[in-house]
Amino acid sequence: MKIGFIGLGNMGAPMAQNLARGGHSVTGYDTATISLQGVGSASSATEAVDGAEVVVTMLPNGDILRRVAAEIIPAMQKGAVFLDCSTVDVDSARAVAEMARDAGLLPLDAPVSGGVGGAQGGTLTFMVGGDEDGFEKAKPLFDIMGQKAVHCGASGNGQAAKICNNMILGITMIATCEAFALADKLGLDRQAMFDVVSTSSGSSWSMNTYCPAPGVGPKSPADNDYKPGFAADLMLKDLRLSQAAAETADADTPLGAAAMALYAAFVEEEDGAGRDFSAMLPRFSGRGRGS
Protein backbone atom coordinates (compact mmCIF):
# COMPACT_ATOMS: atom_id res chain seq x y z
CA MET A 1 0.00 0.00 0.00
CA LYS A 2 0.92 3.65 -0.34
CA ILE A 3 0.96 5.04 3.22
CA GLY A 4 1.26 8.54 4.62
CA PHE A 5 2.56 8.69 8.20
CA ILE A 6 2.28 11.88 10.28
CA GLY A 7 4.05 12.09 13.64
CA LEU A 8 7.49 10.48 13.68
CA GLY A 9 8.33 10.63 17.38
CA ASN A 10 9.50 7.86 19.69
CA MET A 11 6.48 5.71 18.78
CA GLY A 12 5.69 6.84 15.23
CA ALA A 13 9.21 6.52 13.80
CA PRO A 14 9.68 2.78 14.47
CA MET A 15 6.08 2.08 13.43
CA ALA A 16 6.66 3.81 10.09
CA GLN A 17 9.95 1.95 9.59
CA ASN A 18 8.28 -1.40 10.30
CA LEU A 19 5.66 -0.65 7.65
CA ALA A 20 8.40 0.21 5.15
CA ARG A 21 10.30 -2.98 6.00
CA GLY A 22 7.03 -4.84 5.45
CA GLY A 23 7.08 -3.80 1.80
CA HIS A 24 4.83 -0.75 1.87
CA SER A 25 5.63 2.63 0.34
CA VAL A 26 5.72 5.01 3.32
CA THR A 27 6.02 8.80 3.19
CA GLY A 28 6.44 10.48 6.55
CA TYR A 29 6.04 13.97 7.95
CA ASP A 30 6.89 15.51 11.31
CA THR A 31 7.22 19.10 12.49
CA ALA A 32 10.79 18.21 13.49
CA THR A 33 13.23 17.33 10.72
CA ILE A 34 13.57 13.55 10.88
CA SER A 35 15.22 11.17 8.44
CA LEU A 36 14.29 7.48 8.61
CA GLN A 37 15.82 4.70 6.57
CA GLY A 38 13.29 3.33 4.08
CA VAL A 39 10.74 6.09 4.77
CA GLY A 40 10.23 8.93 2.31
CA SER A 41 10.19 12.48 3.62
CA ALA A 42 7.46 15.04 2.85
CA SER A 43 7.73 18.78 3.34
CA SER A 44 4.17 19.08 4.64
CA ALA A 45 1.39 16.95 6.08
CA THR A 46 -0.72 17.41 2.93
CA GLU A 47 2.17 16.23 0.76
CA ALA A 48 2.57 13.12 2.94
CA VAL A 49 -1.07 12.10 2.42
CA ASP A 50 -1.26 12.78 -1.30
CA GLY A 51 -2.50 9.62 -3.03
CA ALA A 52 -2.17 7.51 0.12
CA GLU A 53 -4.46 4.51 0.59
CA VAL A 54 -3.90 4.69 4.35
CA VAL A 55 -2.86 7.68 6.45
CA VAL A 56 -1.48 6.93 9.93
CA THR A 57 -1.25 9.63 12.59
CA MET A 58 0.60 9.39 15.92
CA LEU A 59 0.12 12.71 17.68
CA PRO A 60 0.43 14.06 21.25
CA ASN A 61 -3.14 15.14 22.07
CA GLY A 62 -6.66 15.74 20.84
CA ASP A 63 -6.20 19.43 19.97
CA ILE A 64 -3.27 18.65 17.67
CA LEU A 65 -5.17 15.73 16.14
CA ARG A 66 -8.12 18.00 15.34
CA ARG A 67 -5.82 20.60 13.71
CA VAL A 68 -3.95 18.01 11.64
CA ALA A 69 -7.19 16.30 10.62
CA ALA A 70 -8.67 19.60 9.40
CA GLU A 71 -5.53 20.11 7.31
CA ILE A 72 -5.16 16.66 5.76
CA ILE A 73 -8.73 15.39 5.30
CA PRO A 74 -9.41 17.66 2.29
CA ALA A 75 -6.17 16.40 0.70
CA MET A 76 -6.92 12.68 1.15
CA GLN A 77 -8.41 10.53 -1.59
CA LYS A 78 -11.94 9.21 -1.10
CA GLY A 79 -12.06 5.66 0.28
CA ALA A 80 -8.71 6.00 2.07
CA VAL A 81 -8.31 4.85 5.67
CA PHE A 82 -7.58 7.53 8.27
CA LEU A 83 -5.84 5.47 10.97
CA ASP A 84 -5.19 7.51 14.11
CA CYS A 85 -2.95 5.70 16.61
CA SER A 86 -2.68 8.61 19.05
CA THR A 87 -4.05 8.37 22.58
CA VAL A 88 -6.53 11.24 22.83
CA ASP A 89 -9.87 12.08 24.43
CA VAL A 90 -12.91 10.19 23.17
CA ASP A 91 -14.68 13.39 22.06
CA SER A 92 -11.77 14.38 19.78
CA ALA A 93 -11.61 10.87 18.31
CA ARG A 94 -15.32 10.92 17.50
CA ALA A 95 -15.25 14.47 16.11
CA VAL A 96 -12.36 13.63 13.78
CA ALA A 97 -14.05 10.40 12.72
CA GLU A 98 -17.18 12.34 11.77
CA MET A 99 -15.12 14.82 9.72
CA ALA A 100 -13.37 11.96 7.94
CA ARG A 101 -16.58 10.02 7.28
CA ASP A 102 -18.25 13.13 5.83
CA ALA A 103 -15.31 13.41 3.42
CA GLY A 104 -15.75 9.82 2.19
CA LEU A 105 -12.91 8.34 4.26
CA LEU A 106 -12.77 5.28 6.52
CA PRO A 107 -11.79 6.56 10.00
CA LEU A 108 -10.26 4.34 12.68
CA ASP A 109 -9.15 5.35 16.17
CA ALA A 110 -6.51 2.80 17.16
CA PRO A 111 -4.49 3.71 20.25
CA VAL A 112 -1.76 1.28 21.17
CA SER A 113 -0.37 -0.57 24.15
CA GLY A 114 3.21 -1.78 24.33
CA GLY A 115 5.33 1.36 24.53
CA VAL A 116 8.45 2.20 22.57
CA GLY A 117 9.74 -1.38 22.87
CA GLY A 118 6.54 -2.69 21.32
CA ALA A 119 6.74 -0.11 18.52
CA GLN A 120 10.32 -1.10 17.75
CA GLY A 121 9.66 -4.82 17.93
CA GLY A 122 6.35 -4.75 16.07
CA THR A 123 4.53 -6.23 19.07
CA LEU A 124 1.99 -3.50 19.84
CA THR A 125 -1.64 -4.16 20.73
CA PHE A 126 -4.15 -1.99 18.87
CA MET A 127 -7.57 -1.12 20.33
CA VAL A 128 -9.62 -0.10 17.30
CA GLY A 129 -12.82 1.87 16.91
CA GLY A 130 -14.53 2.44 13.57
CA ASP A 131 -16.26 0.65 10.73
CA GLU A 132 -15.53 -2.98 9.96
CA ASP A 133 -14.55 -2.13 6.35
CA GLY A 134 -11.79 0.18 7.53
CA PHE A 135 -10.61 -2.35 10.10
CA GLU A 136 -10.32 -5.08 7.48
CA LYS A 137 -8.42 -2.79 5.09
CA ALA A 138 -5.96 -1.80 7.83
CA LYS A 139 -5.55 -5.30 9.26
CA PRO A 140 -2.39 -6.17 7.24
CA LEU A 141 -0.75 -3.07 8.70
CA PHE A 142 -1.74 -4.03 12.25
CA ASP A 143 -0.13 -7.42 11.61
CA ILE A 144 3.17 -5.69 10.74
CA MET A 145 3.17 -3.10 13.54
CA GLY A 146 1.75 -5.30 16.28
CA GLN A 147 0.87 -8.70 17.60
CA LYS A 148 -2.84 -8.08 18.19
CA ALA A 149 -5.63 -5.78 16.99
CA VAL A 150 -9.04 -5.85 18.65
CA HIS A 151 -12.03 -4.25 16.91
CA CYS A 152 -13.90 -2.57 19.78
CA GLY A 153 -16.87 -1.24 17.84
CA ALA A 154 -17.88 2.25 16.73
CA SER A 155 -15.61 5.27 16.38
CA GLY A 156 -14.19 6.39 19.71
CA ASN A 157 -14.39 2.92 21.24
CA GLY A 158 -10.69 2.30 20.66
CA GLN A 159 -9.90 5.32 22.83
CA ALA A 160 -12.51 4.20 25.36
CA ALA A 161 -10.88 0.78 25.64
CA LYS A 162 -7.41 2.31 26.05
CA ILE A 163 -8.35 4.72 28.83
CA CYS A 164 -10.45 2.14 30.70
CA ASN A 165 -7.56 -0.35 30.54
CA ASN A 166 -5.04 2.21 31.74
CA MET A 167 -7.32 3.41 34.53
CA ILE A 168 -7.29 -0.18 35.84
CA LEU A 169 -3.51 -0.29 35.41
CA GLY A 170 -2.95 2.96 37.30
CA ILE A 171 -5.21 1.88 40.15
CA THR A 172 -3.70 -1.61 40.47
CA MET A 173 -0.12 -0.29 40.35
CA ILE A 174 -0.87 2.07 43.24
CA ALA A 175 -2.48 -0.77 45.20
CA THR A 176 0.52 -3.02 44.51
CA CYS A 177 2.98 -0.35 45.65
CA GLU A 178 0.94 0.43 48.77
CA ALA A 179 0.85 -3.26 49.66
CA PHE A 180 4.62 -3.69 49.25
CA ALA A 181 5.24 -0.60 51.41
CA LEU A 182 2.92 -1.99 54.08
CA ALA A 183 4.58 -5.41 53.88
CA ASP A 184 7.99 -3.75 54.40
CA LYS A 185 6.78 -2.04 57.57
CA LEU A 186 5.24 -5.26 58.84
CA GLY A 187 8.56 -7.08 58.37
CA LEU A 188 7.37 -9.28 55.48
CA ASP A 189 10.11 -10.15 52.97
CA ARG A 190 9.37 -8.81 49.49
CA GLN A 191 10.08 -12.12 47.79
CA ALA A 192 7.68 -13.89 50.15
CA MET A 193 5.12 -11.20 49.47
CA PHE A 194 5.48 -11.74 45.71
CA ASP A 195 5.37 -15.53 46.00
CA VAL A 196 2.09 -15.36 47.91
CA VAL A 197 0.27 -12.58 46.04
CA SER A 198 1.33 -13.59 42.52
CA THR A 199 -0.36 -16.96 43.01
CA SER A 200 -3.30 -15.77 45.13
CA SER A 201 -6.39 -13.62 44.77
CA GLY A 202 -4.35 -10.39 44.85
CA SER A 203 -2.49 -11.24 41.66
CA SER A 204 -2.51 -8.72 38.81
CA TRP A 205 -0.42 -7.67 35.82
CA SER A 206 1.17 -4.98 38.01
CA MET A 207 2.34 -7.66 40.45
CA ASN A 208 3.01 -10.68 38.26
CA THR A 209 4.48 -9.12 35.09
CA TYR A 210 5.63 -5.60 36.03
CA CYS A 211 6.49 -5.97 39.69
CA PRO A 212 7.48 -2.58 41.19
CA ALA A 213 9.91 -4.17 43.68
CA PRO A 214 13.47 -4.55 42.33
CA GLY A 215 14.90 -8.05 42.27
CA VAL A 216 11.48 -9.66 42.59
CA GLY A 217 9.57 -11.38 39.77
CA PRO A 218 10.32 -10.92 36.05
CA LYS A 219 12.74 -8.15 35.12
CA SER A 220 11.00 -4.77 35.05
CA PRO A 221 11.91 -1.04 35.15
CA ALA A 222 12.28 -1.42 38.93
CA ASP A 223 15.47 -3.36 38.15
CA ASN A 224 16.78 -0.45 36.08
CA ASP A 225 16.43 2.34 38.65
CA TYR A 226 12.85 2.95 37.46
CA LYS A 227 13.90 4.25 34.04
CA PRO A 228 10.62 4.36 32.11
CA GLY A 229 9.11 1.50 30.30
CA PHE A 230 5.87 3.46 30.73
CA ALA A 231 6.48 6.90 32.18
CA ALA A 232 4.49 8.23 35.12
CA ASP A 233 3.85 11.34 33.00
CA LEU A 234 2.03 9.20 30.42
CA MET A 235 0.05 7.39 33.09
CA LEU A 236 -1.07 10.78 34.40
CA LYS A 237 -2.13 11.80 30.87
CA ASP A 238 -4.21 8.63 30.48
CA LEU A 239 -5.79 8.95 33.92
CA ARG A 240 -6.77 12.53 33.11
CA LEU A 241 -8.35 11.30 29.88
CA SER A 242 -10.26 8.65 31.81
CA GLN A 243 -11.61 11.21 34.26
CA ALA A 244 -12.58 13.65 31.51
CA ALA A 245 -14.48 10.79 29.84
CA ALA A 246 -16.08 9.82 33.16
CA GLU A 247 -17.32 13.37 33.65
CA THR A 248 -18.76 13.50 30.11
CA ALA A 249 -20.44 10.10 30.53
CA ASP A 250 -21.61 10.82 34.12
CA ALA A 251 -19.73 7.74 35.36
CA ASP A 252 -18.73 7.32 39.01
CA THR A 253 -14.98 6.50 39.12
CA PRO A 254 -13.72 7.40 42.61
CA LEU A 255 -10.65 5.13 42.47
CA GLY A 256 -9.76 6.47 39.03
CA ALA A 257 -10.01 10.01 40.41
CA ALA A 258 -7.85 9.09 43.42
CA ALA A 259 -5.23 7.48 41.17
CA MET A 260 -5.16 10.59 38.98
CA ALA A 261 -4.63 12.83 42.03
CA LEU A 262 -1.80 10.63 43.33
CA TYR A 263 0.00 10.55 39.97
CA ALA A 264 -0.49 14.30 39.58
CA ALA A 265 1.22 14.89 42.93
CA PHE A 266 3.95 12.38 42.06
CA VAL A 267 4.73 13.91 38.66
CA GLU A 268 4.14 17.60 39.29
CA GLU A 269 5.10 18.11 42.93
CA GLU A 270 7.52 15.28 43.75
CA ASP A 271 10.20 13.39 41.80
CA GLY A 272 8.01 11.34 39.48
CA ALA A 273 8.55 13.25 36.23
CA GLY A 274 10.64 11.15 33.83
CA ARG A 275 10.41 8.04 36.03
CA ASP A 276 8.52 4.83 35.42
CA PHE A 277 4.97 4.74 36.76
CA SER A 278 5.98 1.87 39.08
CA ALA A 279 8.31 4.26 40.94
CA MET A 280 5.30 4.82 43.18
CA LEU A 281 6.82 2.06 45.35
CA PRO A 282 9.79 4.09 46.67
CA ARG A 283 7.37 7.00 47.05
CA PHE A 284 5.14 5.00 49.41
CA SER A 285 8.05 3.21 51.10
CA GLY A 286 9.46 6.53 52.29
CA ARG A 287 6.19 7.66 53.80
CA GLY A 288 4.08 7.14 56.87
CA ARG A 289 0.82 8.56 58.07
CA GLY A 290 2.56 11.65 59.39
CA SER A 291 4.67 12.28 56.29
Length of the chain: 291
Question: What is the residue-wise DSSP string for 221-284?
Answer: GGGGTT--SSBHHHHHHHHHHHHHHHHHHT---HHHHHHHHHHHHHHHTSS-TTSBGGGHHHHH
Strand partners, 127: 150
How many CB atoms neighbour CB 185 within 10 A?
11
The one catalytic residue in 2, 162, 219, 237 is: 162
Whether 78 is catalytic:
no
Nearest to residue 139, comparing CAs of 157, 152, 151, 124?
A: 151
CA distance 246 to 267: 22
CA distance 182 to 137: 50
CB 171 within 8 A of CB 242: no
Nearest to residue 264, comparing CAs of 235, 243, 222?
A: 235
Region for residue 51 given its phi and psi (left: phi exceeds 0; alpha: psi -120 to 50; beta: otherwise): left
Question: Which active-site residues does the annotation give?
Answer: 162
